[in-house]
Amino acid sequence: MSQDLEYLIELARKHHMTVEEQNEQVRSFAYGNTHFENESITKADIDKAMDTLNKERASDAVRP
């Protein structure tokens, strides 16, 4: 393995994902898997579903 590649791998190991990066990864994963099964699914569909889920989670967290 080249030294450049080893360096990049080490950087990746030390990187802590931000909340935004995690959210984008979840959306990408969801789109890739659903679009594979159903080509009519769009990224906008995933965004809408994720936004709905996040709103539901937020309202559940507020309830006593």
In a domain, 9, yes or no: no
The yes-or-no verdict on residue 63 having pLDDT over 80 is no
In angstroms, the CA 27 to CA 21 distance is: 10
H or E element that contains 25: helix 19-37
In angstroms, the CA 15 to CA 13 distance is: 6
The yes-or-no verdict on residue 64 having pLDDT over 90 is no
In a domain, 46, yes or no: yes
pLDDT tens-digit series, residues 9-49: 999 999 999 999 999 999 999 999 999 899 999 999 999 99
Q: Give the range of the structural domain holding residue 26, as residue numbers without chain letter.
A: 17-62
In a domain, 32, yes or no: yes
* Residue range 50-58: mean pLDDT, rounded: 90
In a domain, 10, yes or no: no
In a domain, 53, yes or no: yes
In a domain, 40, yes or no: yes
* Residue range 4-8: mean pLDDT, rounded: 96
Domains contained in the chain, number: 1
DSSP 35-58: HHH-TT--HHHHHHHHHHHHHHHH
The yes-or-no verdict on residue 61 having pLDDT over 80 is no
In a domain, 52, yes or no: yes
Tell me how crowded residue 1 is: count the other CB atoms within 10 A of its CB.
6
